[in-house]
Structure 1
Amino acid sequence: MPARFRRSRPLTPTARVRRLRRRITTLFALTSAVGLVAMAVLAIRSDDARWREQLDRTMDADTSWAMGLLETDESGRLDTRVMADTMGTGCPPLTVLSLTPGTDTDLVVDRAPPRPCLSARPADIRQAAAVAVRDEAASAFDRRTTHGEPVRVFALPFYWPDAVEGDRPQGAIVTLSKTSSQGADHRRLTWLVSGGCVALMCLSAAVGHVLSGRAVRPALAALDQQEAFLADAAHDLRTPAASLHTLSETALRGETDSTEVLRRTLSLAQGMGRLVDGLLTRARLMSGTATLAREPLRLDQLVEDTVADAPLGEHRVAVRAEEAIVVADPDLVRRAVGNLLGNALVHGHAPGVPADVRITVARDGTVTVDDAGPGLPPQVAGALFERFRSGGGSTGLGLSIASWVAHAHGGSLTAAAGERGGARFTLRLPTSA
């Protein structure tokens, strides 16, 4: 069948919650990434502008000092000898360009360093001076020297000493400065900021994954409790439902007296009602919305009543009970004992042979259930009380429910080999003392 005609399998509630967790994690990581990238770009651009601004201030100080040394001769022409004699023009390299009289764009070189420490292309020097004269303000450009080194070209316009307000600049002084060290520092900062940004984004994704996991954990726990409740309900109601079905078929065939049918139907309905109540109680206890109905009760009598109500058939069950008073929930303890007895009746005998079960109730609140069956299967002995673990023939919920009841009361449920070669289950409950 073509893929476009296939209907995608609907996701389970657990899968939808896990998908929501992945989406929350992704959204958290993307939000953090946007913020981190924006901060990184801002930091890199700020550093780039900062080192250029600092370099321009230094170059402006040099050219301003040199500008103070410019003079004019008796004929009104620019005289750069004092500047050259006082500070030199080789390093930092200072080039003085002046406008040709009668023009606004033609610049001529009045003073060029004979042996500059940095040499730029004449076109770059003229461009910087032309922009400074035109804008009547300092200008700066990033260029390269004749040897290919990165350099900063700075030009500052100057005026005649007798200039008045409104006069245009008469030329410009151009200086150069290396930018290789500043550029290397800026690239290093760029790599550090970029690497830190990537590391923080990974950390943000990890933190988001952990936080989203904690956020959806209650939902997953609720779903697990819901699935456990449904499975336990199906397990506990299967037997009385099957008995009702068999009883109904027997009554339809007329093989049983109607009064007996009604009596057994009523008994089964009452038992199913108790099971439903117990399941609902357990669900409320697991979700934390209810507490155990603890009360003093005669454990020996409860065990005897549970055995009397069990459908034994050909199986044999012997009870030896001492008077024992425990503090527990009667319905839940009855279910736990019934599950242990039912497990012994199903698994505690060889095929075709009736079960021989012995139940002992001690004064310390201990119930021991011994059978003469094949014993505990080695493959499930380590996880016997987990849900859906079974030796065969059942869904494996009975022992897990009994274990949960024992631990909910502060007791325990253990399994070991019995004296007759079968399995021995020991249920311990706290006594009234």
Structure 2
Amino acid sequence: MISTSDARPAVARLRRTRWQLTALITAITAVCLIILGLVAATIDARSRSTAVDDSLDRVASGIWEAVTLQEDAKTLDVNQIKDGDLANGETAVVILTTANGDMKWQEAFGHLRSWLPNDNGLASLADDTFQDRGVIYRDDIDSVGRPVRLEAKALTFKDLPDVQTVIIAGTNPGAHDRGRALLLWGLVAGGLALVAASAGVAHLLSGRSIKQAVVMVDEQERFLGDAAHELRTPLTTLRLVSEPRERTEAEVERALTDARALGDRMERIVAGLLARARMQAGVTTMERIQLLLDQLTEAMIEEFPDKNIVLHAEPSVVVGDPTLLSLAVRNLLENAITHGAVNPSEPVEVHVAQGRVSVRDYGAGLTPPLSSNPFARGVTSGRGSGIGLALVAWIAELHDGTATMEPAAGGGTIAAITLPPPPLSHP
């Protein structure tokens, strides 16, 4: 995860990008869910409305089929309807009729009358229905002010054309909307849960993705810091060698030789740092070849011709990357020279044997900051940047070896890198 305490500008920008990605993905998810919810609610509303109309039509059509005339063929016979299930269920029913040219509607049958509009409303609906000679669906208000869905169906008799009959069925759509309310609440609750889950997953995945970018930023800053550390000494020396002053021909030649040597040294430093950065980025892999560790150490000591360094070496064959191992040995030497400078009369002692390079100085020894973890990045006794020994530990670990630092008997410290023996070769 990205540390919230990291105030570096690059990391802060990545953190903002993470929140922006989270907000964007969450917004897209929310918009999609809202659209899907609206579509689902609309389809459900139409379906439920159709279901209400179908239930009304089932009742009205059933009663329409059951209405007959009495034996006198002048009045309606509703006895069969009174005993039927359709006219005694949860759907309100009223049958209005006129007779003998009287246009005033009279109620021939009523069931759940309070669920239907008042007399004037029913009469107006009956008039409209009979004028259309068909079926009318209408939303209205019942006698106590509740919403009601109505279906009115006209009925005529060939043998008695003066008798006009309208069958009206009604129901409260709110009773059918309970399931719709549950659906809407389910859509809202489910949508919020999905949006929250989407936000959480987006934040987690964006954090994992950006974490790699943070690692790259860390590696870039580490590379720049290491390069500044490693190049500081040769650049300072090069400045001293090349500063303008009167020189003899021999001094000029010596200055040019020293400048070339410093240039070669900086080239090796940059190559080592680039190799480290490329390996950590996964661009390349470490080179593994057999080499003589004693000769490599001797070559590194030659880069310090003016220093009092004593070498005790035995032939030692290891397998590793010569560029990185050279960088590790040189850092051990520079560390010993730096800390041993407080006692210039004593040499820096180097021992090479059995895959191990140890460098002993006669300095002040391990200070409290160094005693706990001397190879931690940034840990220093007050001199240097604490990067050199961190590179040594990284190179040792890369070669499946170890880096150690311990107090030396008689004062000073012994810093060492130990590499595993090369694999046995089979004939």
Q: What's the TM-score, normalizing by structure 1?
A: 0.80
Which piece of structure 1 moves more, 154-163 or 399-408? 154-163
1:214 deviation in Å?
4.4
CA separation of 1:143/1:258 partners in 2, compared to 1, >3 Å: closer, same or farther? Answer: same
In structure 2, the residue corresponding to 1:369 is in which secondary structure? strand
Q: Does 1:57 align with 2:57?
A: no
C-alpha deviations, 1:35-88, integer Å up to 9, x for none? 111112222233333333323322321221111222346887551533554338
Q: CA deviation at 1:239?
A: 0.9
Structure 1 residues 268 and 285, CA gap change in structure 2 (3 angstroms) = same
Name structure 2 gaps, 5 residues minimum: 1-7
Match of 2:261 in 1: 267
- Conserved? CA contact 2:405–2:416, under 8 Å: yes
For residues 142 and 382 of structure 1, the distance between their equivalents in structure 2, rounded to whole angstroms, comes to 86
1:27-426 equivalences in 2 (<5 Å):
27-72=24-69, 79-87=76-84, 91=89, 92-98=91-97, 108-113=105-110, 116=112, 118-122=114-118, 125-126=122-123, 129=126, 132-133=129-130, 136-141=134-139, 143=141, 146=144, 152-162=148-158, 170-179=164-173, 181-249=175-243, 251-254=244-247, 257-310=251-304, 313=307, 316-347=308-339, 357-363=348-354, 365-379=355-369, 384-420=374-410, 422-426=412-416
Asked if structure 1 preserves the Cα contact closer than 8 Å seen for 2:378 and 2:385, the reply is yes
Counterpart of 2:3?
Answer: none
- 1:339-394 per-position Cα deviation (integer Å, ceiling 9, x unaligned): 122123224565x766654433231x122334444444444655643443333232
Q: Distance in 1 between matches of 2:372 and 2:50?
A: 74
Task: Call closer, same or farther: CA 1:323–1:170 in 2, change over 3 Å.
Answer: farther
Q: 1:298·1:324 contact (CA, 8 Å) conserved in 2?
A: yes
- 1:241: how far off? 0.8
Q: Deviations over 1:226-263 (max 9, x none)?
A: 332222222211111111111222x5254982222222
Give 1:334 deviation, angstroms.
Answer: 1.1
Larger CA deviation: 64-73 vs 336-345 = 64-73
| Residue pair 2:60, 2:167 contacting (<8 A) in 1 also | yes
Matched-pair identity in %: 29
1:303-359: CA deviations, max 9, x gaps?
23322322664xx54433332110112221111011122123224565x76665443
1:37 maps to a residue whose letter is I
Paired amino acid for 1:22: W
Query: Contact conserved, 1:70 with 1:78, CA < 8 A, in 2?
Result: no
Distance 1:100 1:406, change over 3 A: farther
| 2-structure distance, mates of 1:170, 1:355 | 130
Letter in 2 for 1:331: T
Structure 1 residues 156 and 196: alpha-carbon distance in aligned structure 2, compared to 1, 3 A threshold: same
Kindly tell me: are residues 107 and 418 of structure 1, through their superposed partners in 2, closer, same or farther at Cα, counting changes over 3 Å? Answer: farther
In structure 2, C-alpha distance between the alignment counterparts of 1:243 and 1:175, rounded to whole Å: 105
Q: Which amino acid aligns with 2:245?
A: L
- Quick one: structure 1 residues 36 and 145, their matched pair in 2 at CA, closer, same or farther if it must change by over 3 Å? farther
Unaligned runs of 5+ in 1: 1-10
Partners of 2:373 and 2:101 in 1: how far apart?
104
Once residues 21 and 108 of structure 1 are traced to their aligned partners in structure 2, the CA distance between those partners, rounded to angstroms, is 73
| Aligned residue type for 2:323 | D
Secondary structure, in 3 states, of the residue corresponding to 1:257?
A: helix
Are the aligned partners of 2:18 and 2:203 in contact in 1 as well (CA < 8 Å)? yes
Distance in structure 1 (CA, Å) of the matches to 2:154 and 2:373? 93
Asked if the contact 2:60/2:153 (under 8 Å) is kept, the reply is no
Q: Secondary structure at the match of 2:177?
A: helix
* Equivalent pair of 1:132/1:139 in contact (CA under 8 Å): no
Q: Match of 1:401, as an amino acid?
A: L
Amino acid at match of 2:139: F
**How many positions carry a matched residue from both structures?**
410
Contact 1:118–1:176 (8 Å) recurs in 2: no
Specify whether residues 277 and 174 from structure 1 end up closer, same or farther in structure 2 by C-alpha distance, changes over 3 A only.
same
CA RMSD of aligned residues (A): 3.6
On the 8 A contact 1:131/1:139 being kept in 2, the answer is no
Q: Which digits, 9 at most, give the CA deviation of each residue in 1:159-192, with x for residues without a partner?
A: 21329xxx9x955322233555533332222112
